[in-house]
Structure 1
Amino acid sequence: MRILHTADWHLGQELHGFERGAEHDRFLNWLARTISDQAVDALVMAGDVYDTVNPPVAAQTRLYRFLNGVLDRNPGLQVVIVGGNHDGPTRLELPAPLLDARRVTILGAIPRQDGRPAPEHCLVPLTDAGGRIGAVVAAIAYPRPGDLPVDGGGSAALGQIYQAALDAATSRFPGLPVIATGHLHVAGATVSETSERPVMIGGEEAMSAGIFPAGLAYVALGHLHRAQRVAAGTAVRYAGSPFPMSMAERNYRHSVALVTLAPDTEPDIPLPEIDLIEIPRPVAFLRVPADGALAPDDAIAALTALDIAPMPEHAELRPFLEVVVQLDAPAPDLRRRLDAALDGKPVRLARVRSLHAGAGGTLGDGTAAMAGLDEISPAEVFARLHRQRFETDPPSALIDGFRHLLADVAAGDDQDDLVANTTGHEVPR
């Protein structure tokens, strides 16, 4: 079985006011070609299909167009999609009745039965080119409040869900490798705080890698945008996003994971073969300077001298540019001067960072600097304000409460009353 693991598409996202539809079109076209070229049996998408719980029509159209095309060109392909913290479960599952249920499975939330999570209803058997079942996916979506057992929370409760899913899979499909999906933050993995919303699961922000049973052949994760392996008792990976979702991610290497599995004919679970396929970056990300910061006059000179090749393609594929300026005094006309220096150059000035010398941190050349509010996490802003007002660090219970509040705000209207979704199981909206 050949399974392609991807995640965190964030269809409909804007970067500092710039549309990203052209980038998503390029990625989805590349993904469709890769599925055919690699003779993929199943595509597993581990959450955050959309960037918001109420995605724009254009973003939904991209998803449906992609699914229609890739299923038509690959008659044996199956697709498994689970919801992430950015996805509205009902919205994500809305097209399910119009799709071939034998080939496409969309689970926006963990199914529930009698008010409790029912991971045994998350199992998706995958068939190979010969029509034989060769693997099973335990399609676990992002766990929302109410999705965890009523008598527990956090890592322990989520671990019970994964164990129950594995037990059900091995009972119904003995001898077959089991893949589990997840959309969460696992402790020890690298986070991009500028673009990944904080999530709280059962009172915990980062789950222990021990929640994944050793009997799983592979765990396909989403949520964190850096493609990375997680140290665990089994093969656990984040697919990462298809391209940078913030300027801070410009140095990430983006890829999809091609996972090759063999039936479990031995007492021990066979290790999967994992090949990373690098995704071509549709748009360049530039920074002036490459490291550190420049004084305003030096930044203007650098932009004036910036040599960018003409872009014959769509304007939405012009490079993004971030300029980092070190300020010793207010510069109210800085943005006007930067725009003038870039006049006529095929580049999009997405972000100007103003660093103030003399406090907090250091620049690339060792100069002391203080980052702006957009450079530090909300929790750190809260902690600094607490120290300023009370001359002491906030207690851990207060920090935990603030993180809970952040997660609730990020979830928005996705945390309303429970409603029945299109597949008949209860999910929170």
Structure 2
Amino acid sequence: MRVLHTSDWHIGRLLYGKKRYEEFEGFLTWLAKTIQLNGIDVLLVAGDVFDTSTPSNRAQELYYRFLCRVASSSCRHVVIIAGNHDSPSFLNAPKELLKALDIHIVGSSSECMENEVLVLRNEQDIPELIVCAVPYLRDRDIRVAEAGESIEDKERKLIDSIRNHYAAVATLAEQKREELHANIPIIGMGHLFTAGGQTVDGDGVRELYVGSLTHVTAGIFSASFDYMALGHLHVPQKVNGSETIRYSGSPLPMGFGEAKQQKSVCQIDFHNKAASIQLIDVPVFQKLERIKGDWNGISNRILELSATTPQGWLEVIYNGSEVIGDLRERLDSAISGTQIEILRIKNNRIIDHMLGQIHKEETLDDLDMDDVFKRCLDVHKIPEEQRLELFRSYHETILSLYENDTQTE
């Protein structure tokens, strides 16, 4: 049996206001061809199909056309779970209709965990694979809040709930395998951030659980899983060096920080229950590049690109010693007559000059949201003993806003 693992499509995502539908269409067309050419039997999509909870009509069209194309191919099953960017109710809405095409959607967790344990059968109705399709587990879905509990209690209960959820679906899968008297593989799916996971600047990957990021370890996954297909992190990577616990990564660079990554999807071949993994490189559908340096370095690189890359999108970060007030005009002149577009310009010297350096050798680009919040606490002279609780409350507020983005109730 041959399985393909992908995730984090983020269909509809903009890049500094630039629509990317041609890239998404290019990827989905390539993926459908790859499925057919490589004889893929099962496709797994580990969350974040869309970039928002209310995808545009164009984004939906690309998604459903792809599913119809795959349903009519040699691929026997598609399993899709929701990620933190997806609306569970939106994904689930056509669930029963898609099931008739052997496309299985798990948009949200439920009290009946059997809904997440799927037995996939071949054309002869013989069981060939069990998939534990665990969607993004929202805090409110798996942890019951109690009055008076401490932050530490909340974190412990959250991690215990995640671990227990995966243990429960693994146990159900083992029971089903025994009942079927079939020596078939069990695959786990999930959308979460495991400890030690690699991210890059500007990829938009969000922390999922307040204060618990470093505590969600690979140890929560049952040894019953012959392969673990994960989503959420955009960098293709193994978890704790394991060949069979992987993030496929996003197929398109979500920002300029990912521009130099080789994107891929994971092909898993099963021989009985033993899995062998091969990465399939995803082509580049739109050239992105971050150019950083002084004016000579930037202008020379643009000249090189104009000769080799007809339709590149650039982010330019100027950090030369000279203060250049007309950087935009110079850049417009440099790309004149080419099809290169500059989507973002960061003139660090102007920023430093206008705002002043908060600390020696520090620029605004060095600060993230936590840094800004810490500076706010410093300005208001908040005592150290109060800061931990304020930071946790701040993170809870930010995560609550993110989660509200995916609700459609």
State the TM-score bracket (shorter-chain normalisation).
Answer: 0.7 to 0.9
The one-letter amino acid paired with 1:404 is: E
Q: How far, CA to CA, are the matches of 1:245 and 1:78 in structure 2?
A: 27
The one-letter amino acid paired with 1:239 is: S
- List per-residue Cα deviations over 1:245-265 (Å, max 9, x = no partner): 0001112221100112233xx
| Maintained 8 Å contact 2:210/2:396 | no
The one-letter amino acid paired with 1:380 is: D
1:210 corresponds to 2:219: yes
1:307 corresponds to 2:301: no
- Secondary structure of the 2:4 match is strand
Aligned counterpart for 2:202 among listed residues 185, 194, 201: 194
Map of 1:286 onto structure 2: 289
Change (3 A) 1:132 1:232: farther
Change (3 A) 1:89 1:7: same
Give runs of aligned pairs for residues 332-351 of structure 1, distance below 5 A: 332-351=325-344
**Deviation for aligned residue 1:135:** 1.4
Gaps of 5+ in 2: 146-155, 353-359
Q: How far, CA to CA, are the matches of 2:104 and 2:138 in structure 1?
A: 19
Greater mean deviation of Cα atoms: 166-175 or 127-136: 127-136
- List per-residue Cα deviations over 1:205-239 (Å, max 9, x = no partner): 34122111122111111011000000177821001
Map of 2:142 onto structure 1: 148
**Deviation for aligned residue 1:353:** 2.2
Give runs of aligned pairs for residues 218-297 of structure 1, distance below 5 A: 218-231=227-240, 235-263=244-272, 270-289=273-292, 293-294=293-294, 296=295
- List per-residue Cα deviations over 1:264-295 (Å, max 9, x = no partner): xxxxxx44111111111111122334xxx21x
**Deviation for aligned residue 1:155:** 2.0
**Deviation for aligned residue 1:344:** 1.6
Q: How far, CA to CA, are the matches of 2:59 and 2:364 in structure 1?
A: 32
Map of 1:377 onto structure 2: 368
Q: How far, CA to CA, are the matches of 2:378 and 2:261 in structure 1?
A: 34
| Maintained 8 Å contact 1:47/1:222 | yes
- Secondary structure of the 2:306 match is coil
Map of 2:388 onto structure 1: 396
Change (3 A) 1:64 1:415: closer
- Secondary structure of the 1:173 match is helix
- Secondary structure of the 2:3 match is strand
TM-score, normalised via structure 1 length: 0.82
| Maintained 8 Å contact 2:199/2:205 | no
1:407 corresponds to 2:399: yes
**Deviation for aligned residue 1:303:** 3.5
Map of 1:386 onto structure 2: 377
Q: How far, CA to CA, are the matches of 1:308 and 1:392 in structure 2?
A: 57
Map of 1:167 onto structure 2: 171
Map of 1:14 onto structure 2: 14
- Secondary structure of the 2:332 match is helix
Change (3 A) 1:156 1:241: same
**Deviation for aligned residue 1:298:** 5.7
Q: How far, CA to CA, are the matches of 2:218 and 2:350 in structure 1?
A: 40
**Deviation for aligned residue 1:200:** 3.1
Map of 1:121 onto structure 2: 115
Q: How far, CA to CA, are the matches of 1:305 and 1:202 in structure 2?
A: 45
**Deviation for aligned residue 1:388:** 5.0
| Maintained 8 Å contact 2:205/2:234 | no
Structural RMSD (CA): 2.8
Q: How far, CA to CA, are the matches of 1:229 and 1:126 in structure 2?
A: 26
- List per-residue Cα deviations over 1:149-194 (Å, max 9, x = no partner): 5387322110100110011111112233211111111010102352
Change (3 A) 1:325 1:145: same
Change (3 A) 1:298 1:232: closer
TM-score, normalised via structure 2 length: 0.86
| Maintained 8 Å contact 1:358/1:369 | no
- Secondary structure of the 2:72 match is helix
Q: How far, CA to CA, are the matches of 1:409 and 1:329 in structure 2?
A: 40
Gaps of 5+ in 1: 264-269, 312-317, 360-367, 417-428
**Deviation for aligned residue 1:391:** 8.6
| Maintained 8 Å contact 1:196/1:225 | no
Map of 1:420 onto structure 2: none
Q: How far, CA to CA, are the matches of 1:358 and 1:99 in structure 2?
A: 52
Map of 1:57 onto structure 2: 57
The one-letter amino acid paired with 1:94 is: A
| Maintained 8 Å contact 1:8/1:49 | yes
**Deviation for aligned residue 1:310:** 6.8
Change (3 A) 1:253 1:303: closer
- Secondary structure of the 2:29 match is helix
**Deviation for aligned residue 1:97:** 3.3
**Deviation for aligned residue 1:350:** 1.6
1 or 2, which has the higher helix percentage? 2
| Maintained 8 Å contact 2:71/2:101 | no
| Maintained 8 Å contact 1:257/1:274 | yes
| Maintained 8 Å contact 1:200/1:404 | no
Identical counterparts, % of pairs: 31
Change (3 A) 1:205 1:299: same
| Maintained 8 Å contact 2:11/2:49 | yes
**Aligned residue-pair number:** 386
